[in-house]
Amino acid sequence: MAKHGPLNGGNGSADKDTLASTGAESPSKLPLPSTNPATNLLIADILLRGASTLFRHSVEKRIAKASSENDDDAQELLDGRTLLTSLGLYGASKLATRSVPGLLIVGGGLVVKTLYDRGKARQRRLAQEESEN
């Protein structure tokens, strides 16, 4: 009796006899480091948080270097954060990730801040051009 798999017209589901004869585990079972589910979740959480932190720091450094005149200014920008600034960034990120209204509030605030910064830069540029003429 032929087994029906994805290559021979079946629906792709394998039964226990097929898996036992091939020595394979079921597709839903991944090889995990521990038999304790809580330990596996802890390991995954630590790995995800570590990778996220490394990625965030890398992106912050690149953006600071691209935004600054030289490397010293970029490093000063990154090192000059106060505790209040860090808490504000943490709160904004939590607000933005917890709900759609929170995301809209934080995103809208970032758009307003960007437009404000661009307007100020344009005013400075126009004032400098007028003083040169």
Share of the chain above pLDDT 90, in %: 48
Single pTM value for the model: 0.55
Q: Torsion angle of alpha carbons 31, 37, 41, 43, nearest 10°?
A: -60
Task: Provide the pLDDT for residue 71.
Answer: 84
Query: Contact, 75 vs 69, CB < 8 A?
Result: no
Model pLDDT for residues 15-37, shown as the tens digit of each residue: 555 444 444 454 567 788 888 99
CB-based contacts of 44-52 (< 8 A; 24+ apart in sequence): none
Tokens of 26: 């079921």
Mean pLDDT of 23-52: 83
128: pLDDT strictly greater than 60: yes
CB 25 within 8 A of CB 43: no
Mean pLDDT confidence for 104-119: 95
pLDDT at 70: 86
Q: Per-residue pLDDT averaged across 39-56, rounded? A: 93
Q: What is the mean pLDDT of residues 47-73?
A: 90
